């Protein structure tokens, strides 16, 4: 936030300088003595180098032995001032690019300001993330997780099971901006369409064959999909709806790495049809262009 305020201050200062230069052009060009109307043809660029406008005019008179023409001098002074304005504009553009990079960096998990911040799950302090445990009380188990070698229970309507490894399971992940998950799939089981609001994901297939895909944002809604085999890797950009499906006749296993200690999961069907309190059926009827009976039936599944 401080960096953003610095940028706004610099931007306003540059804009003020730009306005001042424009005012100087008007005042110095149009209020000069009428004697300038006799100025000779265009002078060299060095004529103005290192001098303010009035000094440059006097120098030009001495060098050329005659008074300047008003229009010709006005044209050269405007070019000189325009060059200054363009330099200021370039500075404003540079500041804008810096600001965008700062904003982009704020969009992901914050970088740690110390070696680690092991989560203190019992702390009553509410922060953006988890409060830190006293470093003197940190143990090796705070950075440890066991169980990814065990297959998840896929006996559910989706035929899949996600075993997460986030800061909730490994306190030492707090503030580090990474997480992991194992995903198990029954034959033709799916990890249904969902999003991670705070993380991009990279998925590696350990066993089996998976069809994976994601959908780009409106208005294109482009479906990008591919079938992966053992050893293949696929990336899901942050925030986009994505899914996986086991297209093999045997069980499949994948490991997913995510760019947040707490990626979050929004399963589309659960969010739309299983929210509490529920979304009014007439809204969903219009959104999905189906009969109310269909909406009410789907709601019973969630």
**Domain identity same for 92 and 184:** no
Last residue of a domain, one of 88, 106, 124: 106
Q: Is residue 122 assigned to a domain?
A: no
pTM of the full predicted structure? 0.65
Q: What pLDDT, on the 0 to 100 scale, is given for residue 69?
A: 47
For residues 203 and 182, give the distance between their C-alpha atoms in angstroms, rounded to a whole number: 10
Residue closest to 191 by CA, chosen among 263, 274, 252: 252
**Domain identity same for 153 and 57:** no
**Domain identity same for 152 and 250:** yes
For residues 300 and 280, give the distance between their C-alpha atoms in angstroms, rounded to a whole number: 14
Residues contacting 34, CB < 8 A, separation 6+: 70
CATH code where residue 157 lies: 2.60.120.10
**Domain identity same for 85 and 147:** no
Give the single-character DSSP code of 178: -
**Domain identity same for 258 and 158:** yes
Q: Is residue 111 assigned to a domain?
A: no
Is the Cβ–Cβ distance between 54 and 131 less than 8 Å? no
Q: Is residue 271 assigned to a domain?
A: no
- pLDDT mean for each 10 residues of the chain (302 residues): 50 49 43 46 47 54 50 52 58 56 52 86 87 95 97 97 97 96 98 98 98 98 98 98 97 98 97 97 97 97 94
Q: Is residue 253 assigned to a domain?
A: yes
Last residue of a domain, one of 82, 106, 130: 106
Residue closest to 174 by CA, chosen among 124, 202, 147, 135: 135
**Domain identity same for 55 and 155:** no
Q: What pLDDT, on the 0 to 100 scale, is given for residue 28?
A: 43
Q: Is residue 226 assigned to a domain?
A: yes
Is the Cβ–Cβ distance between 48 and 76 less than 8 Å? yes
Q: What pLDDT, on the 0 to 100 scale, is given for residue 35?
A: 43
**Domain identity same for 156 and 222:** yes
**Domain identity same for 99 and 164:** no
Q: What pLDDT, on the 0 to 100 scale, is given for residue 82?
A: 53
Q: Is residue 295 assigned to a domain?
A: no
40 is in which domain, residue-wise? 2-106
**Domain identity same for 92 and 156:** no
Q: Is residue 181 assigned to a domain?
A: yes
Give me the number of domains the chain comprises: 2
For residues 226 and 91, give the distance between their C-alpha atoms in angstroms, rounded to a whole number: 44
- Using alpha carbons, list the distances in angstroms from residue 135 to 60, 132, 138: 74, 8, 5
Q: Is residue 294 assigned to a domain?
A: no
Cis peptide before 158 (omega within 30 of 0): no
Is the Cβ–Cβ distance between 85 and 18 less than 8 Å? yes
**Domain identity same for 102 and 144:** no
Q: What pLDDT, on the 0 to 100 scale, is given for residue 111?
A: 75
Residue closest to 274 by CA, chosen among 255, 292, 299: 299
For residues 234 and 183, give the distance between their C-alpha atoms in angstroms, rounded to a whole number: 14
Last residue of a domain, one of 50, 85, 106: 106
**Domain identity same for 145 and 99:** no
Three-state SS for 297?
helix
**Domain identity same for 144 and 76:** no
Taking phi over 0 as left and psi of -120 to 50 as alpha, with beta for the rest, 231 belongs to left
């Amino acid at each position: 936030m401080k960096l953003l305020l610095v940028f706004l201050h610099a931007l306003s200062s540059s804009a003020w300088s730009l306005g001042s230069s424009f005012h100087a052009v008007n005042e110095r060009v149009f209020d000069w003595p009428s004697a300038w109307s006799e100025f000779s043809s265009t002078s060299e660029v060095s004529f103005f180098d290192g001098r303010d406008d009035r000094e440059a005019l006097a120098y030009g008179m001495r060098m050329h032995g005659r008074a300047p023409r008003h229009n010709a001098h006005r044209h050269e002074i405007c070019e000189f001032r325009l060059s200054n304005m363009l330099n200021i504009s370039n500075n404003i553009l540079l500041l804008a690019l810096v600001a965008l990079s700062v904003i982009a960096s704020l969009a992901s998990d914050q970088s740690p300001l110390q070696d680690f911040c092991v989560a203190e799950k019992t702390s009553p302090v509410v922060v953006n993330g988890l409060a830190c445990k006293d470093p003197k009380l940190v143990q090796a188990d705070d950075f440890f997780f066991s169980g990814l070698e065990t297959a998840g229970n896929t006996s559910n309507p989706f035929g899949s099971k996600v075993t997460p490894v986030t800061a909730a399971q490994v306190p030492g992940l707090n503030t580090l901006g990474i997480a992991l998950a194992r995903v198990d799939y029954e034959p033709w089981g799916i990890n249904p369409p969902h999003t991670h609001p705070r993380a991009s994901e990279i998925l590696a297939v350990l066993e089996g064959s998976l069809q994976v895909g994601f959908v780009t944002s409106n208005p294109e809604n482009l479906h990008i999909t591919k079938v992966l085999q053992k050893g293949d890797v696929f990336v899901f950009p942050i925030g986009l709806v994505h899914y996986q499906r086991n297209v093999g006749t045997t069980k499949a296993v994948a490991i997913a790495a995510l760019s947040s200690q707490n990626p979050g999961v929004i399963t589309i069907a659960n969010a739309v049809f299983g929210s509490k309190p529920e979304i009014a059926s007439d809204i969903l009827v219009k959104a999905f262009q189906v009969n109310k009976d269909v909406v009410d039936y789907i709601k019973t599944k969630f």
